[in-house]
Structure 1
Amino acid sequence: MDKKWRASKSSQEIVETVASEDRYDFDFHDLDRVQRRLKQRHVQMCIAGTIGTGLFLGSGNALRVAGPLGALIAYTLVGTVAYSSLCCIGEMTTWAPITGTFPHYASRWVDPAFGFAVGWNYFCANATSVPVEISAAVILMTFWDKDASFHRLFSRTMTSHAAIYTAVIAILICAINIFGVRFFGESEFFFSVIKLILIIVILFAGLVIDLGGGPDHERIGFKYWVNPGPVNRAHLVEDGNTDRFLAILSVVIQAAFSFQGMEMVCIAASETENPRRNIAKAVRRVFYRIVVFYMLGILMIGMLVAYDNPDLLSKVGTAAQSPFVIAMNTFPHLVNAGIFTSAFSAGSSSLFSSSRVLYGLSIRGQAPKFLAYTTKSGLPIASVLATSAFALMSFMAVSAGAETVFNWFVNVTTTGGFIGWFSINLTYVCFHRGMKAQGFDLTKNVYNNPLQPYLAYWGMGWSLIFILMNGYAVFFKFETSVFLTAYINIPIFAAMYFAYKYVYRTKIWKPLEMDFVTGIPTVEETELPADPPVTFLEKVSAVLF
């Protein structure tokens, strides 16, 4: 194995790193053809772009299962894990804003076999999210379907309309990504603004209604926290306290689906102008956005809707059972329209993320080479088209017979997201050790969180717990299909890792062997001087975006 000597940027000490064989060559400048076309406002809104049906529709199930306090606890816990994961990937990305993002970091700083398994796991999880969000958007569309009976979910009329809606939405989502990253960025910015306005309106309107400003002028306060109560029961064991704890655990999985996808802001680094500055700015603001978007949203619906509300418990299969629509029953159509844009936007974001990860795998020889083909404008069209094929899975939700199989994919998606979070935090722990060992000053990076590496340990530990407890309910009433969808990702991930390791004889990098220089553009190569805001609108934009 050949060896190189490389100088640390933070000191003049010479440290020995291993360049080894061709398959470990990390300089892919000649292969990477994507272009930096996303602007600062696009990147700043990427986090809002991942807010989809997991919050607006899935929160209803969380409230029904665990009650208002139980749902709030679950969302808060998962929010801290999502935050730790984003801080980890944000710090690694501001050091190396290159194509391939965290699967490549895993190959570079943990083990090439680990990067291979992480990349394909994340691709499959996000590619499967595309039909999930499309199907959710179709459910929201049927809210306005006058011919569809809310009590006859699989009537002929509704099934026919659902198929048409599915086709139209799938084509539009794929078209947005095929037209190019700039078009994708503009559409996500537009939809994200709608989502932000919707959430702010809901929070203010909810507060007014809770304080007695609704049509009936009833002051609600925390009435539903008293009756029917703050935490519901899971009905798995006889002991009340234990059963309520299990109900909260059940909601953790639902909450995780709501948060997954935030890492897209870093996946877009190789196609972003001034990536280090813009990503650092987005990551620094994510804590406040999690608190406002998720925590206050869950708190508000828990105050306005009882967990035993008949509309919440109904299985109508439309947005009528969304807690946001139930709470804002004075203008449900407006709320439903806003939630629809969320589902559409989240589906488009999932397609973007998965296609870029697939492209990164391809240019590094871990996926078929034809998937690395790009257009003259830098669009990885082959990877986009391959990922778009997953949108066809959304038609499975139209058929009653295939819906069960489709729900399995939803569960697999969530498990894959947990593995992705665990991988990000583990990779950062290795990154942190290697940087320290080679004499790099982490505090001089464009973004550095002072809580590291303890934040990564927190995220890694809880992600592992989430993976193991994902299907815990099946052990109270065993069902083979539920068990498989909850845990099948674990042996698949292990099989990919060990198979790649066996074939290519890869090694786990030691701290002094990690490469922190090759193929990584310098700050001078990626960052342009920031233009200070001058006008009033520019100053407002600088604060918001």
Structure 2
Amino acid sequence: MASKDKEEAVSSALSEKADNVAPPISDLCDEEKASFSTVEHDGVHDGVKRQLKQRHVQMIAIAGTIGTGLFLGSGGALRAAGPLGALMAYGLVGTVAYASLCSVAEMTTWAPISGSYPYYASRWVDPAFGFAVGWNSCYSLAISLPGEITAATILLTFWDHSREHLAAYTAAIAVLVITLNVFGVKYFGESEFYFSLIKISLIIGLILCGLVIDLGGAPNHDRIGFRYWKEPGALARANLVPNLHTDRFLAFISVVVQAAYSFQGMELIAVAASETESPRRNIAKAVHRVFYRILIFYIFGILIIGMCVPYNDTSLLQATGNAAQSPFVIAINRAGIKVLPHIINAAIFTSAFSAANSSLYCGSRILYGLALRGQAPPIFSYCTKRGLPLPAVAAIGSFCLLAFMNAGSGGGEKAFDWLVHLTTTGGFIGWLALNVTYARFWRGMTVQGYDLRKNVYHSRLQPYLSYWGIFWTSSFILISGFKVFFKFNFQDFLASYINIPLFLALFLGYRWSQGTKFRRAEDMDLVTGIPSIEETEVPEVPPQTIGEKIAAVVF
């Protein structure tokens, strides 16, 4: 009942300035109206359709950030900072990720339209800011696409050690990723749904397996408990400075940055809002469950590997890129359990493939949103009758070719690694931007007399969550390459920090050329072009059968 009252409040608020709202598609029935993202954005027709269902959005939200960063990268975190240091780092970053998601979710449930947070930045902060945020996200995702394809290819070396086959594997994975996106958002949603099921099943199985190993249930019957927290210890050193406590703190800082990379990607549900059925209701439901996902999957996962594997284990030093470097697999091998590593590697492969799939989807939709508002070439605003922004998909998909740099021999692999590191700060800038945008959105809503508590989704901790996100994401950007200052290397410095001047150049260049200004709170347009509840939300059908009731609880 409360949810319905909120929907009515939002619909009423959006109708207050009826003359400014884009006209309804009067010739269509209610269900057909809801299948379109909206009628127009700033006079430009938005052709995408709402084909992602509740179960798609729920699974994407629950498992969207679970990937190689948790399955493989957590071993590096354990080695770098020890079990307690890694646990604290992932816990801190988890709060920042949650704060950022709450911020973008609240804006998205108010305005579920194409362009997502880059468009919100243009609308409620400054068009130049939105331009810079949009292109920063676009090129970061475009470069991460071949990076994820490469990660998936390397995972196959767990079974096939020959480099001669890397090019063929790369081509096959790239074609599959592009094909899934070309088929349309419905097939993207279905593939991500099943990939998410695999990831969730894997992480739950690994946590339970790790708990059994720790309690002595493995074939070797060795009850470990918290043995490794005592010897070699709970905190590791970074070996950067002589002072013990300072060195341990620097180790913790290095893992904070690494953990932040692992959490990136949770903003996918906001990018998908314009193609989600009943976006306000479904995104609100999804975000309510994210806190538990972070707690169970990430925090418990890091706790378990810290209990089962000592941070000085030599196996943690290997960087194979496949399941052999996973701390979960290391624990399983130490316990004498066979076969499982092969199953784990296969599941992690689907996780890497899913990340590539999501990068192409998100990058193409952000490029499409930029083009709708004249901030990208107009060809990218074209959309097929099935709701597919085909030119945008083709443009981002063409970056798959960069993955072949890693499949050959010579300098290509090194150049590719440098190119990927060049955009690692892009995700942090995206988090910072959406928190800054929310702070301005909150200010505008408050000054203009809107009650945010009546929005379909609202966190009682706002706007303080956005302030928390602004502080820590700014910190992540500044410390992302801190190690370079202990042993200076110009290439590493450039790779770590080049995104900062690049973002500023995009912002200042657009501001100077277009003469834009910051939006004043009292002048912000909080209504125009935003579809009402009636235009987006399909009436919720209560579950009837036992299967439907179980699905309603799970999804």
Shorter chain as denominator, the TM-score bin is over 0.9
Instruction: Please tell me whether residue 185 in structure 1 is matched to residue 194 in structure 2.
Output: no
Q: Which residue of 2 aligns with 1:223?
A: 227
Instruction: Please tell me whether residue 311 in structure 1 is matched to residue 315 in structure 2.
Output: yes
* Whole-Å separation in 2 of the counterparts to 1:50 and 1:178: 23
Residues 131 and 12 (structure 1), Cα distance of their counterparts in 2 relative to 1, 3 Å cut: closer
Matches within 5 A, 1:283-432: 283-329=287-333, 330=337, 331-398=340-407, 399-432=409-442
Aligned 8 A contact 1:50 1:349 in 2: no
Matches within 5 A, 1:167-182: 167-182=171-186
How many pairs does the alignment contain? 522
Q: Which residue of 2 aligns with 1:23?
A: none
Aligned 8 A contact 1:106 1:115 in 2: yes
* Whole-Å separation in 1 of the counterparts to 2:500 and 2:368: 24
| Deviation readout 1:191-250 (Å, 9 max, x if unpaired) | 110111111111111111110001100001111111111111111000011111101111
Cα displacement (A) at 1:404: 2.4
Instruction: Please tell me whether residue 78 in structure 1 is matched to residue 93 in structure 2.
Output: yes
Aligned 8 A contact 1:253 1:414 in 2: no
Matches within 5 A, 1:60-75: 60-75=75-90
| Deviation readout 1:13-38 (Å, 9 max, x if unpaired) | 99xx9xxxxxxxx8346421001111
Q: Which residue of 1 aligns with 2:8?
A: none
* Whole-Å separation in 1 of the counterparts to 2:319 and 2:513: 49
| Deviation readout 1:94-126 (Å, 9 max, x if unpaired) | 000000000000000000000000000011111
Aligned 8 A contact 2:481 2:497 in 1: yes
| Deviation readout 1:431-489 (Å, 9 max, x if unpaired) | 00000011111001000000000000000110001111111111110000110011100
Aligned 8 A contact 2:199 2:347 in 1: yes
Cα displacement (A) at 1:358: 0.5
Q: Which residue of 2 aligns with 1:155?
A: none
* Whole-Å separation in 1 of the counterparts to 2:67 and 2:291: 18
* Whole-Å separation in 1 of the counterparts to 2:105 and 2:321: 38
* Whole-Å separation in 1 of the counterparts to 2:346 and 2:403: 20
Residues 317 and 267 (structure 1), Cα distance of their counterparts in 2 relative to 1, 3 Å cut: closer
Aligned 8 A contact 1:9 1:440 in 2: no
Instruction: Please tell me whether residue 465 in structure 1 is matched to residue 475 in structure 2.
Output: yes
Q: Which residue of 2 aligns with 1:91?
A: 106
Q: Which residue of 2 aligns with 1:115?
A: 130
Unaligned runs of at least 5 residues, structure 2: 1-10, 21-39
Aligned 8 A contact 1:358 1:383 in 2: yes
Aligned 8 A contact 2:101 2:287 in 1: yes
Question: AA paired with 2:500?
Answer: I
* Whole-Å separation in 2 of the counterparts to 1:120 and 1:144: 38
Cα displacement (A) at 1:393: 1.4
Question: AA paired with 1:134?
Answer: I
Matches within 5 A, 1:199-214: 199-214=203-218
Q: Which residue of 2 aligns with 1:35?
A: 49
* Whole-Å separation in 2 of the counterparts to 1:9 and 1:38: 26
Aligned 8 A contact 1:211 1:219 in 2: yes
* Whole-Å separation in 2 of the counterparts to 1:444 and 1:180: 34
Question: Please, what is the CA RMSD of the aligned residues?
Answer: 2.1
Cα displacement (A) at 1:403: 2.4
Question: AA paired with 1:441?
Answer: D
* Segments ≥4 residues shifted beyond 6 Å: 11-14
Residues 36 and 77 (structure 1), Cα distance of their counterparts in 2 relative to 1, 3 Å cut: same
Q: Which residue of 1 aligns with 2:72?
A: 57
Question: What SS does structure 2 have at the residue aligned with 1:295?
Answer: helix
Question: What SS does structure 2 have at the residue aligned with 1:219?
Answer: coil
> What percentage of residue pairs aligned between the two structures are identical?
61
| Deviation readout 1:350-370 (Å, 9 max, x if unpaired) | 111111000000111000111
Question: What SS does structure 1 have at the residue aligned with 2:41?
Answer: coil
* Whole-Å separation in 1 of the counterparts to 2:59 and 2:15: 40
Aligned 8 A contact 1:117 1:497 in 2: yes
Question: AA paired with 1:500?
Answer: Y
Residues 315 and 54 (structure 1), Cα distance of their counterparts in 2 relative to 1, 3 Å cut: closer
Question: AA paired with 1:476?
Answer: F
Aligned 8 A contact 2:41 2:372 in 1: no
TM-score by length of 1: 0.92
Q: Which range moved further: 87-96 or 339-348? A: 339-348
* Whole-Å separation in 2 of the counterparts to 1:11 and 1:290: 33
Aligned 8 A contact 1:11 1:440 in 2: no
Aligned 8 A contact 1:421 1:459 in 2: yes
Question: AA paired with 1:486?
Answer: S
Cα displacement (A) at 1:10: 4.9
